[in-house]
Structure 1
Amino acid sequence: MRITVVGDVLLDVDLAGEATRLCPDAPVPVVDIADVRRRAGGAGLVARMLARDGHRVTLVTVLSDDDASLELEGALAGVRVVAGPSGVRTPVKTRVRAGRHAVVRFDEDCGRPEVPDATASMLKAIEQSEVIVVADYGRGLAANPDVRSLLAALADDVPIVWDPHPSGAVPVPGVAVATPNLAEAAKAAGMAAETPAEIAAAGTMLLDRWQAKAVLVTLGERGGLLLGGRDRLPRTIPAPPAAVSDPCGAGDRLAAGLAVHLAEGRGLQDAVELAIHEAADFLGAGGVASLPDRPRLLGDNTVGDNTVGDNTVWRHSVWGQGREEDAPALARRVRANGGTVVATGGCFDLLHAGHARTLAAARDLGDCLIVCLNSDESVHRIKGEQRPIVSQQDRAELLLALECVDAVMVFEEDTPEACLDLLRPDIWVKGGDYRASRLPEASLVESWGGRCVTVPFHPARSTSVLADALAKVS
C-alpha cells in the first residue's frame, strides 16, 4: 500500500548522561553527557516508524536549507520525501536526560510560522495515496488551503488518520479517525474533560464539530475512548500494562498503526485496539530510544521486496556500504564547499560499457555525480510489461559499484522533474542521442541557473542490443 504522511517535521536531539553532582554556582544538576542522538521528529517520526516496519512511505512536508535540515535529511534516509521550501528555520527540540529522567528541554525556532505553500509535487504525492496520516505539529502545513481542499476531496475514498495539535488546524470533514489526546480534546471542545462522562461529551462534540467519521481520545496508559461508527456510542479501549520510562512518540506510533490497519480493511474498533496495543509495546520496548539513529545501509540483511534492512528503496534512500549521506545532503554539502553538482538519469536496466563511459564523462564535469534512477514501476510504464530486466535494488547497487557514481536517487514518476527540483544540480547530463536544448528538463534546470549538457553516445552499446544478445543464448 502507498502510505503518505502529511505534516510538519522537526529535529529532535536527545542528550543523555548521568547526574551525580550539583553545579557549584546554582542548585541544578550537572549532567555528564555520554550519548547524543539526532532524529526526525513530528511527521518525520511517523514516517520513520512506518518505514522501519517495512511499509512504502512518502513524507509530504516542507524543509528549510539550514544545517538542522541537513541533519533531518540524514535522519529521514529510507523515506521518500516530497518537500517544498518552508521559508523559516528548522525547529529543533533538545532534551537533556539524566538516567531515566528528563531534566530540561530547549526549543529553538519553534514559533508558529506563516502557512507554507504547497508545491505541485507535494499535491501530486498526496493525490496518489492509498492511506494518509496527517501529523499536524502546528507549523502550518495542515492549514494550507490547497492541501486541505485535496484531503477533503480524498476523504470519502482514502482512509485519513488525523493527529491534531493544539496550535494546529482542525481536521478536514470526513477523516476516518481524529486522534486528539485528552488535553487536546478538552482544549478543542472548550470544556473540562476529567471524568468519563466529560471525556465522552468532549469527544462527541468534536465528532460533530469536525464532521469526522470517528474520534479517538487517547488517554495514555488508560488506552483510549472511541466515538463514532454506526451507533456513535463511546467505547473504552484499554491499553495493556507497559513499563514506560519515556512516553515520547506514543501518539505517533498509534496514528501510524491505526492508518495501516484501516488500510488493511479492518473494522474501526479492531484497528483501534491493535494500534493501542502496538503503541504500548513500542513504549515498553523503550519508545523512541529503540529506534536506530540512522537506517541501516545497503549490505545489511534484506527484508521484503522493497526494503534494504530498515532502508526502503524509494527516493531519499542511502545506497552503498559506508555512504553516510543521501543524495540531497551530498548535493548541499558539495555546493556549500563551492563544488559543482552533476546529475544524470535513466533506467540503466542492463548496465553496459556505454553506460559506464557516459557516467564517467558526466562525473568529469563536476565534483559529484548523482544518478536519478527510474523505479521498477516507472520502468514498467515507460518500457513495457517485460521491463525492467533487473530490479531497482540491483540496478542501484551496480551503479554505485562504479567509482564515478557518488549517489543514487530512485524516483517513481515517469520523469525526473521532482527529483531534480529537490537536488537542483548545477549540470544535468544526458547521452549524446539527445540535444541539450530539446531536453524536457532544460527549462526546469535553467530556472535555478543550472545547465544541460550532453556527453558522447555509444550507439553500438545499448540495453536493447545486450538484451537481444542474451535472448539468443538463453
Structure 2
Amino acid sequence: MIEQLHDVIQKIEQEWPAKRLLVLGDVMLDKYIWGDVGRISPEAPVPVVRATHQSQQPGGAANVAMNLAKLGAQVWLIGFTGGDADEKLLEACVKEHGIESAFVPCSGFPTITKTRIVGGRQQMLRLDSENLGQRAQGDHSRLLERALEELPKCDAVVLSDYAKGVLMPELCQAVIHAARQHGIPVLVDPKTADFSRYKGATTVCPNLNELSVATREDARNLEAMLTSGEQMVSAFDLEYLTVTLSEKGIAVLRPGNRFLAPAQARQVFDVSGAGDTVIAVLSLCLASGLAIEPSVQLANIAAGIVVGKVGTVPVEKHELLAALAPDIALHAEDKVLTRDELARRVAVWRANGERVVFTNGCFDLIHVGHITVLEQSRRLGDRLIVAINSDESVSCLKGPNRPVVGENERARVLAALASVDAVTIFGEATPFELIVATRPDVIVKGGDYNEDTVVGAKEVKSWGGKVAIVPTVEGHSTTRLIQRSLAGTSS
C-alpha cells in the first residue's frame, strides 16, 4: 500500500504534465531485430533467428527521457551523438514523443547503438557500436553550456551515467552546483565506482551491484553494504541514497536510518530499462514535491510493470494508474472526483481498453435497491461512474426537506462500494453535460425508464454505446424509508 495515496494520485494526474525535466547523459539508440527460432544452425551450435521485422527505441539516457515523456512530463534531453544516420534516427524517435533534444555531435565518435536480436520473447544476442575514447574538450564545453542554459527552466535534473564519456567529474559538479543554487533536485543513475563526482546531488540511485562496487562490500553481505551506503550519504553531501535491491525492492538510506519499499511481484520477461523507469518516476515525484518514501513505493510499482515487457519499453502513465487501481478501490476519497478529475480518470481507463458504464441519481439514504442497481450496472462493463445530484438539485426534485444526507456524505458512501469506480456531483437539472464529457459505453437507469426517457441515450448510441434498463427492487425506496422512520416502524 502506497503512503499518501491521495496525494500521489493528485500529482500524477494533475501536476506531472506541467513538470519540465532535464535529462543529461549517455544517449543511445536501441535497435531490435525480431524473429522466430525454429532450428539450430548446421554451421555452429547456435539458434537460427528468422527475422520478421525491425524496430528502434531511444536507449540509455534517452530511455529515461522516454519514460518521463510517457509519464506525461515535458523533457529536454542533452547528450553526445555522432552526426550520423543513427543520430537522425534517434532524433526522430525522441521528437515523435514530444521530447526536445540538444545533441552535441562529436567527430570520430558514432552515435552509440545497441542492436538486440530477439527470438520469440527471448533476447538471443546484443551487438554494441561505440567508441569509448576521450572526446575533445570543446565537445564537453558545448555540452555543459547547453545544460546550464536549460537547467533554470526545469523542475528536476537527471544525470544518466552509462560510463560512456559524458558525465565527467567537472561536468557533474558544475551541473549539481548550478541546480542547488536554483533549488532544483538532482538525481543520478551511476555507472562508476567513484561517487565523489556526484557530490552534492539530491540522491544517487545505484543498483545492488553498483553499490557493492562503490562500497567495496560483498553484495552477499547486504547489511554491511547498506551500512557503508549510509556512510556515503554524509561523505558525499547527499540527502539520501536510493538503492534498487532487485527482488527485495528499493531502499532509501540516510545515516542511521533506512526505509525499504518491497518489490511488486511480477512475471519477468526482460529487465532492460527497469533502472531507467525507477529514476524517471523518482525524479517526477521529487519535482512534484513528494516525499521520497511514497516515491520509491510508486517507483517499485512502475518497475514491476516494465520488467513484464520485452525490450527497452517505457511504462506509460495510464499503466501506472491502472496498477494503482486496487489501492484506489480501498480508498473512498480517491474515487470522489471533480469533473476535470473524472475526465482524466476516464482517459486512463480508455487507454487501458476498459468499458465505461454510467449511472446517476440522488442516492439519498442508500438502500438495498440502490446496491442492487449498482452491482448490476457494474457487471455491464469494467468501470462504473456514479453521478449524484447536488443538494440543491435534490431539493428541486424532491422538495425542501431533502436530501436527508448531504452531497459529500452521499458521495463518500457510494465511493466505498466495491462496485463503484468513480463518483462525481452535478448541479445541473440533468447529467447531460457529464455524459457528453465522459462518453460512456453504457448508460444504466433503473425503474420505469425506457430508452426514450433516458437523458443522453441518443448521444451514447451515436458513438456506438448502449442504454440498459435495470429493474428496481420492489418495496425499497428512500421515500419509503423516511415514511417508516417518521412512523416509528421497521417494515
**Into which bin does the TM-score normalised by the smaller protein fall?**
0.5 to 0.7
Structure 1: distance between partners of 2:298 and 2:272:
19
Number of the residue aligned with 2:113:
92
**1:139 maps to 2:164:** yes
Q: What does residue 50 of structure 1 align with?
A: 68
2:212 counterpart of 1:186: yes
**CA pair 201-110 structure 1, distance change in 2 beyond 3 A:** farther
- Say which of 140, 157, 177 aligns to 1:117: 140
| Deviations 1:263-302 (CA, angstroms, capped at 9, x unpaired) | 111112111111121121232355634679xxxxxxxxxx
Q: Secondary structure at the match of 1:41?
A: strand
Q: How far does residue 41 in structure 1 lie from its aligned partner after superposition?
A: 0.6
Could you list the per-position Cα deviations for residues 133-181 of structure 1 after superposition, in whole angstroms to 9, with x for gaps in the alignment?
1111112221162453132232361111110113787542221221001
Checking the alignment, whether the CA contact within 8 Å between 2:242 and 2:252 is kept in structure 1 is: yes
What is the Cα deviation at residue 256 of structure 1? Answer: 0.4
Pairing 1:58-77 to 2, within 5 Å after superposition: 58-77=76-95
1:253 shift after superposition: 0.4
Give the alignment's Cα RMSD to 1 decimal.
2.5
Aligned equivalents of 1:86, 1:110: Cα separation in 2: 11
* 8 Å Cα contact 1:164/1:171 also seen in 2: no
> Which amino acid in structure 2 is aligned with residue 199 of structure 1?
M
Unpaired runs of 5+ in structure 1? 293-302, 305-309, 311-474
Cα offset for 1:71? 1.2
Larger Rg: 2
CA distance 1:70–1:168, shift in 2 (3 Å):
farther
- Using the TM superposition, name which of 141-150 and 249-258 deviates more: 141-150
Structure 1 Cα separation of the partners of residues 292 and 315 of structure 2: 28
Is the alpha carbon distance of 1:166 and 1:144 closer, same or farther for their aligned partners in structure 2, counting shifts above 3 Å? closer
Alpha-carbon distance in 2 for matches of 1:165, 1:112: 17
How far did residue 112 of structure 1 move?
4.7
> Paired residues, what number?
293
- Identity score, percent: 28
Partner of residue 82 from structure 1, selected from 102, 116, 120: 102
Q: Determine helix, strand or coil for the equivalent of 1:148.
A: helix
Judge conservation of contact 2:34–2:51 (CA < 8 Å) in 1.
Answer: yes
Partner of residue 222, structure 2: 196
Distance of aligned partners of 1:3 and 1:123 in 2 relative to their CA distance in 1, 3 Å threshold: same
The answer for unaligned runs of 5 or more in structure 2 is 1-18, 317-342, 345-350, 352-491
- d(CA) in 1 for partners of 2:209, 2:293: 22
Q: Paired residue for 2:272? A: 248
Q: Is the 8 A contact 1:96 1:102 kept in 2?
A: yes
Q: Matches of 2:33 and 2:195 in 1, distance apart?
A: 31
TM-score, with normalisation over the residues of structure 1? Answer: 0.58
Cα distance in structure 1, aligned partners of 2:84 and 2:194: 24
Matched position secondary structure for 2:275: helix
Tell me the residue number matched to 1:18.
Answer: 36
Change (3 A) 1:79 1:167: farther
Q: Is the 8 A contact 2:193 2:210 kept in 1?
A: no
Q: How far does residue 40 in structure 1 lie from its aligned partner after superposition?
A: 1.1
Taking the aligned partners of 2:129 and 2:80, their CA distance within structure 1 comes to 17
Change (3 A) 1:169 1:111: farther
34, 43, 46: which one pairs with 1:28?
A: 46
Q: Are the counterparts in 2 of residues 152 and 172 from structure 1 also a CA contact under 8 Å?
A: no
C-alpha distance in structure 2 between counterparts of 1:152 and 1:262, whole Å? 18
From the superposition, tell whether residues 167 and 43 of structure 1 become closer, same or farther in structure 2 (CA, over 3 Å).
farther
Instruction: Give the partner amino acid of 2:36.
Output: E
Counterpart amino acid of residue 76 in structure 2: T
Three-state SS of the structure 2 residue aligned to 1:118 is: helix
Counting helix residues as a fraction of each chain, which structure ranks higher?
2
Compared CA separation, residues 110 and 273, structure 1 to 2 (3 A): farther
SS at match of 2:167: helix
1:162 aligns to 2:180 (yes or no):
no
Pick closer, same or farther for the CA change 1:93–1:218 going to 2, 3 Å: same
Alignment of 1:128 onto 2:126: no
Spell out the pairing of 1:350-429 with structure 2 (5 A cutoff).
Answer: none
Question: 1:103 — aligned with what?
Answer: 124
- 1:239 is matched with 263
Contact preservation (8 Å) 1:137, 1:164: yes
Aligned-partner residue type, residue 238 of structure 1: P
In structure 2, the CA distance between the partners of 1:290 and 1:203, relative to structure 1 (3 Å rule), is closer
Q: What residue number does 1:405 align with?
A: none
Q: Deviation at 1:69?
A: 0.9
SS in 2 for 1:103: strand
Tell me how far apart the structure 2 counterparts of residues 191 and 168 of structure 1 sit (CA, whole Å). Answer: 14
Residue by residue over 1:412-442, the C-alpha shift from the partner in whole angstroms, topping out at 9 and shown as x without a partner, is xxxxxxxxxxxxxxxxxxxxxxxxxxxxxxx
Distance in 2 (CA, whole Å) between partners of 1:168 and 1:136 is 12
Separation in 1 of the partners of 2:205 and 2:156?
Answer: 16
Cα distance in 2 between the residues matched to 1:62 and 1:14: 22
Letter in 2 for 1:176: T
Aligned to 1:210: 236
Alpha-carbon offset, residue 183 of structure 1:
0.9
Judged with a 3 Å threshold, the aligned counterparts in structure 2 of structure 1 residues 235 and 201 are, in CA distance, closer, same or farther, namely same
Instruction: State the 1:4 CA deviation.
Output: 0.7
1:15–1:35 Cα contact (<8 Å) kept: yes
Alignment partners' CA distance in 1, 2:215 and 2:159? 20
3-state DSSP of counterpart to 1:25: coil
- Would you say the 8 A contact 2:27–2:62 is kept in 1? yes
Aligned equivalent of 2:201, options 170, 175, 182: 175
Q: Partners of 1:282 and 1:261 in 2: how far apart?
A: 18
- For 2:267 and 2:87, how far apart are their aligned partners in 1? 34
Seen in structure 2, the aligned counterparts of structure 1 residues 127 and 289 have a Cα distance that, compared at 3 Å, is closer
CA contact (8 A) 2:277 2:314 kept: no
Give me the whole-angstrom Cα distance separating, in 1, the residues matched to 2:241 and 2:286. Answer: 14
Greater displacement, 95-104 / 181-190:
95-104
Residues 40-69 of structure 1 show CA distances to partners (whole Å, capped at 9, x for unaligned) of 111111111111222111112222211111
User: 1:267 is matched with which residue?
Assistant: 291
8 Å Cα contact 1:163/1:178 also seen in 2: yes
> Aligned to 1:288, what secondary structure does the other structure show?
coil
What amino acid does structure 1 have at the position aligned with 2:149? K
